[in-house]
Amino acid sequence: MMNILSLARPEVRGLVVYPGPDLGENSIRLHANEAARALDALALAGLNRYPDVRPAGLTRKMAELYGVTAENVLVTRGSSEGIDLLMRAFCVAGQDEVLLTPPAFEMYQVYASIQGAATVSVPLQADKDYSVDAEALLGACNERGKLIFLSSPNNPVGTVVPRQQIEKILRALEGKCVVVVDEAYVEFSESGSLVSLVAEHENLVVLRTLSKAYALAGARCGAVVASPPLIVLLEGLLPPYALSSPVVSLAELALSSRNIACARKNIRETVAERERVRRMLATCSVIEKIWPSEANFLFVGVTDVDSVKKRLAEAGVIIRTYDDNSQLQGCVRISIGTVDENNSFLDAIRSLG
């Protein structure tokens, strides 16, 4: 089997991870040039000290949540940072390519552009509920293609890529290309995560986040799940002390058994609300199509985007529109809010007829 790290940039493979000592609870910390005295405020207590270079406790909690080992997990500042790390690790500017399947999360293109990597688009099949054309995707991948990004459930559409299809792509590109599956919304899906496959496929990377299902969008905390050698490679690109102490503490609190149970309850309620909103929207004359969704939002085609946007703005409701994207013109994305928020949205849009 080819070592997947051979696809990485040579200068990245040679990086040495920033050293961080193992600190006992009662260690006398005279190693990091910190301020020995904290400010006199409860909220600031402990912030005179650096956090762990890498948050070992949070890493273990996230690994347990995802059903993998701690060696398979790199905690990042949101899953977006994972995208950036992968671009920097594998793509030589002006030489390598990234394969995208639009419509897709905009930051794939942004980080590729920042890195100077070319992007090759293999659009999803709009006439087949935005499904992936696996044969076209494999045909577009050549020796310059280092990364493929698949969003499942897809943002902005909400559809999933079948597990069998992803496994086919992984097998076909073993030793040739890294396949990145972005599972930011997978908790809202019945399809399940692919994290168990990282033990079988060294060219698989799964991106996860606490922003959506675990209600920590403001904390910026996510994870890369991959084979241990890949995790070590990406870790070398992270700055030391990347996650702040408050973020680590809050994320660990969110992953207590009590809060995990609460999150799962919220997920069930969100999915139920998604289906209720879908049924109500289907009765509105301004709605042309509602795509199947396994995320916490609905992707909808409307008769007149401008009038819908104007009416909703008058009601104080903001939705996502795509005026600058010809592939998505005439469509909007609607996040599922609370019952009251959803009712306000439905009342406004039903007033259009």
Which fold does the domain 268-350 belong to in CATH? Aspartate Aminotransferase, domain 1 (3.90.1150)
pLDDT, position 271: 95
Same fold, 11-255 and 268-350: no
Alpha-carbon separation of residue 333 from 161, 174, 268, 329, 342 (angstroms):
19, 35, 20, 11, 13
CA distance 314 to 316: 5
pLDDT, position 325: 73
pLDDT, position 150: 98
Domain ranges, ordered by start, for the chain = 11-255, 268-350
CA distance 115 to 200: 29
Local structure of 63: helix, strand or coil: helix
| Phi-psi domain of 35 (left: phi exceeds 0; alpha: psi -120 through 50; beta: other) | beta
Quote the tokens at residue 348: 């406004």
- What class does CATH assign to 11-255? alpha beta
Q: What is the mean pLDDT of each run of 10 residues along the chain (353 residues)?
A: 78 71 60 55 75 93 98 97 97 97 94 95 94 96 96 96 97 96 96 96 97 93 97 94 94 95 94 96 95 95 93 90 84 93 93 83
